[in-house]
Amino acid sequence: MTTALRLRSARGFTLTELAVVVAIIGFLMATAMYTLSAQTEQRNFEETRRRLEAARELILAFAIVNGRLPCPATNASPDEAGGGATACTTPYPVAGPPASGFLPARSIGYQVVDPEGYAIDAWGNRIRYAVSGVTAGTITGCTGTSTTPHFTSATNLKTNGITCRPDDLVVCRSATGITATDCGSAGNAVTNHSTPNKPVVAVLFSTGKNGALGSGGIDEAANVNGDQVFVWHVPAPVGATNGEFDDQLMWITVGELYGKLISAGVLP
């Protein structure tokens, strides 16, 4: 090998070649980090869904054992408000900050909790819960006249009959056009919005990844503003018409509740 060839082979990479290598490595690392982040968020989303499903089953199990639905927990305690002896103190999430109306983890035996004992989603946000607050004396079809909320009272559920239906909780597709009591139109309703045939007796939900940040838009705001109207649709990014939306909702219908109680021999 000549002296010129030895010098050429020993000189190593040029600055340009090193810059290209570094850029390629940086690109590959960024791609890997993005993929990992996306996979983590998907896992959190799916885990939160599983937690909500588990909570939903525990609520129904509580109803079978106790003959009624549990009341929500408040900021004061992860137990159900009112101790279940009388009317719920917060049939809907109470406007905050922070909002009340949480899943009563200790009362239903939910295990994944924060240090204070509140049920949490995969992002560490407390799981919310609302239950119908209607009374037998105010709904068509009820045989009783009790002024105690029907669905959180074992006595009312046992004596008023299964014809009692909720007329308050409703789930809408969008916060656009909603009122404090309704979706505004049948087309905007995920569940029946017409009084007195609203079938939803309880709602539980996660405020999603952005819950701790207080971000989101009007659709998310509708879920924590303290009224009986909730919004659910597929996730929407920042910049969407009604703002970012990553809440996850589940609900229990009155037919499902009555079906479980009848099958278990609790009703009629």
The rounded distance, in Å, linking the Cα atoms of 50 and 58 is: 12
pLDDT band at 7; cut points 50, 70, 90: very low
CB 267 within 8 A of CB 65: no
Is the pLDDT score of 9 beyond 60? no
Q: In the 8-state DSSP scheme, what is residue 58?
A: H
Specify the pTM: 0.80
Residues 6+ apart with CB under 8 A from 213: none
| Residue 37 buriedness (CB in 10 A; 0-12 / 13-18 / 19+) | exposed
pLDDT band at 121; cut points 50, 70, 90: very high
Is the pLDDT score of 161 beyond 80? no
Q: What is the pLDDT of residues 238-249, one digit of tens each?
A: 888 999 999 999
Cis amide prior to 235 (ω within 30 degrees): no
- Give the per-residue pLDDT at 55: 95
Q: Quickly count: other Cβ atoms within 10 Å of residue 267's Cβ.
A: 16
Is the pLDDT score of 90 beyond 60? no
* Sheet with 248-253, edge to edge strand ranges: 128-131, 200-206, 248-253
**Domains of the chain, residue spans:** 3-263
pLDDT band at 148; cut points 50, 70, 90: confident
